Amino acid sequence: MISPARPPARRIAALLAGATALLLTAAGCGGGPAPGEVTSITVLDYYTDEPEHTQWAQTLSDCGRTAGVKVEQTSVPGASLIPKVLQQASSRTLPDLLMLDNPDLQQIAQTGALTPLDRYGIDSSGFAPGILSTGTYDGKVYGLAPYASTVALFYNQDMLAEAGVAVPRTWDELKAAAARLTRPGRYGLALDANATFEGTWQFMPFLWSNGGDEKQLDTPQAAQALQLWVDLVKSGSMSKSVLNWTQADVHDQFAAGRAAMMINGPWRIPALDKDKDLHWAVAPIPVPRAGQTPVTPLGGEVWTVPQSASKARQEKAARVLACLNSPSTMLALAEQHFTVPSRTAVAARYAQQVPSMAAFVESVEAARARTGELGVRWPQAATGIYTAIQSALTGQQTPEEALRHAQQIATGG
Amino acid sequence: MRSRSRPVAEARSGERAARWMFLAPAAVYLLLFFGYPVVKNVVMSFQQYTATTFYTGSAPFVGLQNYAKVLTSDLFPKALLTTALFTAGSLCGQFVIGLGLALFFRRRFPLGGVLRSLLLLPWLLPLVVSGATWRWMLDPDTGVVNAVLRGLHLSSSGIPWLTGTSQALVSVILVNVWVGIPFNTAILYGGLQDIPPHLYEAAKLDGAGPVRSFRHVTWPLLRPVVGVVLVLGVVYTLKVVDIILVVTGGGPADATETLATQAYELSFRQFEFGRGAAMGNVLIVISLAFALVYLRAGRRARSVREGIA
């Protein structure tokens, strides 16, 4: 049924690659074109949406110019990036510069298809440790993210003012606020609890902030976090449709005034800004008890240099990667995409320049990499977590039962 | 004698070669695009085939381990039952409505041909598009289906089409029925055209009303086609992934998780390609059983038709 790799074709490709390498060596001996003469490199990312696509095309070509190469950018939809990368890995046609969603880096680095960045003398000092760990596999840095994002609580200022509700900071306040903000045709809170890794991603801040951990899911801390979501649905403050909503759906509900608050990421800000009648603001995700700091998951994409037959192309790609991660580029990117620069010094400067992003800058500092503890075993745990969310929110299982099952999925499958 | 038998043998072998040459394109196509993937999938199901395999090419053989894991997972019996219900439900709906429409369109009336071709539209629409539209229409809070039900006072709170663990399966079946009606109508309509009109005339002369002529003329002569439609329907429905993924994503709480969506999930979300392949092969075996029925039905269809002629 599914046959993404074809060994015979691969063998032929390997033979061809070998032959090409021989030819190149021969050409080098004969004084042919110098190997440094790389005029263009290929780049693969998933920035298909506008204006993101055009903005990235500009940044990449600017960085290409500093490295002296033309950049040929290909963007594929998010869901097809990994299948495409796997195909390219087996046919040895990986791009020179590859973008990956950070939780996927472990899997791809484990295959051996990526090169460690220390080989190119890339400076990874000054990066926030959490962000650096998303790009680190087996103690070596394989990918660097110029910026990071995370989720926070967006709220409709008019609706909160009208209901006389203060911005919730704790779970109890969140429940009370959501209940008071709920009206016919409007829910207090919207979030993404769907049966994909997106649902897991939105649950992580609640799990982690309460002291829960993905290594051991059947704990009271995890059960309390899940109970909070169950209570929100049971009380009617949150639509049961959260079971199906993607983060884009959550955004639509909020933008249409059908939800007074939502959990979402800063990449929604450009779209929210377009609607002049929508008065919104951002606050950190509520924590179990007053005074705690929310622990949120790190989002964002890492840039990597895949294995390739041409050292010269890799060098060029690495120079573009270094440029993307330079303080000035990351500051510009962060401003463009409403994200947080990865270098702490740059982030601090950014928070002063763009005060509306302060909530995110603060959250990113304490944020955790989803793959930080489990590495390549993260997908199983993530599957367990969203399965538990779905079972608990539909009332099939209590949070405790659901999380016991999640732990089984995470450890054995 | 000798000199005469030689050219005959030569002619015969030439004929045989020609026969093979006519067969070759089809055979090569089948081997390349059906044989290879199937064999590859079977081999994969005995290997530990992960993301790493794509780069390194190494996939150690693990015997029946993938099958053991897939068949003993607690999701398997549930997904098997869901697959059976989904297939049976979809087929019933598609077939009954499809047959009704085929009988209806056999009458001649103005714009009948236009309507019949319009009926094919759901078939032409990309499944992701129709799936997304249905998801939107079935949304429990804002969907048009619940709005209509509320407006007609048939349901005060609306039906949790996509969020109820028992309703979600009904919803995906409804969508799949809608998608499958054109196929059923088209094939059954074709089957009806094959029934010689003089049989109906004879039945009428014998005093048979519409019900009796359906029971004694239409149904027996249509039965071989019915067999073909149903078997093809089973095979097409077993492997449905896109509709379910778009409409419910297999949820809520795995309520619409079938063997096919499980195979997708294992391969492309968890990168367990070996186990995904094992799950895929379970589906192939089930489909194969129905394909054998189909072959027999086809043979019967031919003999019945020869009987009429």
CA dist., res. A128 & res. A133, Å (int)? 9
- Report residue B85 as tokens: 């219900």
Q: For residue B116, tell me if it sits in a domain.
A: yes
pLDDT score, position B2: 52
Residue from the list A10, A108, A241 with its beta carbon closest to the beta carbon of B51:
A108
Q: For residue B42, tell me if it sits in a domain.
A: no
What is the sign, positive or negative, of the torsion defined by CA atoms of A226, A385, B131, B169? negative
Q: Would the CB atoms of B253 and A394 count as touching at under 8 Å? A: yes
Q: At a CB cut-off of 8 Å and minimum separation 6, what does B25 contact?
A: none
Could you tell me the CATH number of the domain that includes residue B227? Answer: 1.10.3720.10
Please state whether the predicted TM-score (pTM) of the whole model is above 0.80: yes
Q: For residue B72, tell me if it sits in a domain.
A: yes
Q: With 50 as the cut, is the pLDDT of residue B52 above it?
A: yes
CA dist., res. A293 & res. A359, Å (int)? 12
pLDDT score, position A12: 47
A356: distance to nearest CA of chain B, Å? 32
pLDDT score, position A324: 96
Residue from the list B251, B270, B276 with its beta carbon closest to the beta carbon of A2:
B276
* Average pLDDT score over chain B: 88
Q: At a CB cut-off of 8 Å and minimum separation 6, what does B298 contact?
A: B224, B227, B228
Please state the φ and ψ torsions of residue A385, each to the nearest 5 degrees: -65, -45
Q: Would the CB atoms of A394 and B276 count as touching at under 8 Å? A: no
Average pLDDT on B49-60 reads 88
B121: distance to nearest CA of chain A, Å? 27
Residue of B nearest to A109 (CA): B52
Residue from the list A2, A90, A197 with its beta carbon closest to the beta carbon of B267:
A2
Q: For residue B263, tell me if it sits in a domain.
A: yes
Average pLDDT on A143-147 reads 95
Q: For residue B54, tell me if it sits in a domain.
A: no
Average pLDDT on B92-114 reads 91
A391: distance to nearest CA of chain B, Å? 5
Q: What is the ipTM of this complex?
A: 0.78
Q: For residue B3, tell me if it sits in a domain.
A: no
Give pLDDT tens digits for A338-377: 899 999 999 999 988 888 788 788 888 888 999 988 988 9
Q: With 90 as the cut, is the pLDDT of residue B307 above it?
A: no
Give pLDDT tens digits for B155-198: 878 889 998 888 999 999 999 999 999 999 999 999 999 999 99
Residue of A nearest to B44 (CA): A3
Give pLDDT tens digits for A17-56: 444 444 444 444 433 445 557 899 999 999 998 788 999 9
Number of A:B CB contacts under 8 A? 120
Q: For residue B292, tell me if it sits in a domain.
A: yes
B240 part of contact set with chain A, CB < 8 Å:
no
What do you get for the CA distance between the two ends of chain A, in Å? 22
**A271: confidence class by pLDDT, cuts 50, 70, 90:** confident
CA dist., res. B279 & res. B265, Å (int)? 10
Domains in chain A (CATH in brackets) are 36-148+299-365 (3.40.190.10), 152-296+374-411 (3.40.190.10)
**B113: confidence class by pLDDT, cuts 50, 70, 90:** confident
Give pLDDT tens digits for A167-188: 999 999 999 999 999 999 899 9
CA nearest neighbour of A154 among A300, A326, A284: A284
Range of the domain at B239: 64-308
Percent of chain B whose pLDDT exceeds 90: 53
- Report residue B235 as tokens: 């095979």
CA dist., res. A94 & res. A165, Å (int)? 52
Question: B69 to chain A: which residues are within 8 Å by CB?
Answer: 413
Q: Would the CB atoms of B255 and A3 count as touching at under 8 Å? A: no
Total domains in chain B come to: 1
B272 part of contact set with chain A, CB < 8 Å:
yes
Contact predicate B280/B70, CB 8 Å: no
pLDDT score, position B51: 86
Residue type, B203: A
Q: With 80 as the cut, is the pLDDT of residue A87 above it?
A: yes
pLDDT score, position A9: 44
Which residues 57-76 of chain B have a CB within 8 Å of chain A? 57, 69, 73
Give pLDDT tens digits for A288-342: 999 998 999 999 999 999 999 899 999 999 999 999 999 999 999 998 888 999 9
Q: For residue B11, tell me if it sits in a domain.
A: no
pLDDT score, position A262: 97
CA dist., res. A226 & res. A232, Å (int)? 10
Q: With 80 as the cut, is the pLDDT of residue B6 above it?
A: no
- Count CB neighbours of A114 within 10 A: 25
